[in-house]
Chains A and B, each alone.
Chain A
Amino acid sequence: MTGKLKTICSLKGHSGIVWNTSWHPKGQMLASCGEDKTIRLWNYKDGDKSTLKCLLADGHQRTVRAIAWSYCGQSLASASFDATIAIWDNKSGQFECNATLEGHENEVKSVAWSRSGSMLATCSRDKSVWVWEVWEDNEYECAAVLNAHSQDVKKVVWHPHEDILASASYDNSVKLYMEDADKEWTCVGTLSSHTSTVWSLAFDKTGDRLVTSSDDRTLKIWQKYLPGNPEGISVKDGNFVYKCVCTISGFHTRPIYDVTWCHLTDLIATACGDNSIRIFKEEDLSDRNQPSFSCVSHVSEAHSQDINSVQWNPVVKGVLASCSDDGLVKIWKMEST
């Protein structure tokens, strides 16, 4: 799928920076959050018909930095600079906050649900990553506090099928975590190659590949190798290793604040501090161990200020949401040429 990225609607409402968006798993609703401490839920309709569905206020005392829908679509988690995570659902008929998770020492930067929905991960400026077990009746229990990073942790993301967690940090690295034989969460890998803050990361649909985006203006593609792989990549005392197989440089002129890898079309989209959205596609006949990617679309001035997040719609092919310091949420569509 290639073509041109066209804006289909621009959603106004937030005041100040919009930090993050998250598509509902059914693809018909989008959540956004920001500096104004609110979360907004938008009904997504094709064309410019998307509208505000509801506004969630009073859940947080400070900026809402990140939000994430659970895979079942029942719950929305929000992470805030106020050091808490709020869990919202509409079981009562309207969206309300039914649990607040406390424990981080300061700003919570990111939140993510595991594929099964039985776990939640959060990370903070306090350098830690927390894994929470999700029980019924809005009960959440801290299962692990992971202190592998030496600095502010910016983003947590779960593997699309397995209970493998990845985190990106101001310490320039990405860490991977899994439960060991004793059911203890441990760091099972460190991905070092970026030369500045890693702002975001995304798995492809297989989970065998990762893309990371950084303040160093590059994207990197990491490939998973298992023990005894035919390529002869050494996998020391572990189940797997992710190795950097491609660096995409020379496209972004400012920090790359977010990256999203579409599980329907395999396209990669980036959110950059130079106000641009770029779309990358793996070239045909590209070698798995040495892949090449080309930039198939570049929208300069996609927003009038820094773009903080991009997210592919999980159901509707080629539909992308973005949000920016300019206070807007925009929805885009890849149009075939």
Chain B
Amino acid sequence: MGLDNENPTLFEKSEERIVSEKDLDDDEAEEFDSREIFDLIRGITDPEHPLSLEELRVVDQNLIEVEDSMNIVKVLFTPTIPHCSMATLIGLSIKVRLLWCLPPRFKISVTITPGTHASEHAINKQLDDKERVAAALENTHLSTVLNKCIATA
């Protein structure tokens, strides 16, 4: 099977996060912000290319919304091409990474950046269906693929 997108555009990685003294203070309870969420997902590997979601600009800090006090995390992701057959898998890898890393109080929404995929509605609905996500994670083959993508994050 050929690759969906053989020559994806490459983007530069962002700077490492500047760690402030406040960040290192364990006594200080800190709210999650979009940079922190971005750091959790930018290193996820694309299922087709040995490149990170950040390098392909599938994820972008500016497309992450966090309302810590409301327990809300919203991530928009942008498939490299509008017919990308990997879009659901990529969305699932972002969702699973966040489900595993964030405290369970968060309601995590992972959706396609509006207008960037031909089947965005269908994919968004699938990613938002907690029962189907739970069933997908019990699928041995799928979870192996997901683990591979997430291992680099």
Contact = CB atoms under 8 A, between A and B. Distances in A.
Given A196-B125, A197-B125, A326-B104, A306 B130 contact: yes
Contact of B138 (A81, A196, A215): A81
A336 B128 CA distance: 38
A297 to B, nearest CB: 23
A61 to B, nearest CB: 9
Interface string B100-131: 00001101000000000000000001001111
A62 B138 contact: yes
Nearest to B106: A305
A318 interface: no
Interface in A279-333: 304-306, 325-326
B107 A81 contact: no
A217 interface: no
A107 B125 contact: no
B104 A305 contact: yes
Q: How large is the interface on A (under 10, 10 to 19, 20 to 34, 35 or more residues)?
A: 20 to 34
Nearest to B104: A305
A18 B107 CA distance: 17
B29 interface: no
B132 interface: yes
B107 A304 contact: no
A125 B135 contact: yes
Given A125-B135, A304-B104, 11 more contacts: A62-B138, A63-B134, A63-B135, A107-B135, A109-B131, A152-B132, A170-B125, A197-B125, A215-B128, A304-B105, A326-B104
Interface of B: 104-105, 107, 125, 128-132, 134-135, 138
Interface of A: 17, 35, 62-63, 65, 81, 106-107, 109, 125, 152, 154, 170, 196-197, 215, 254, 273-274, 304-306, 325-326
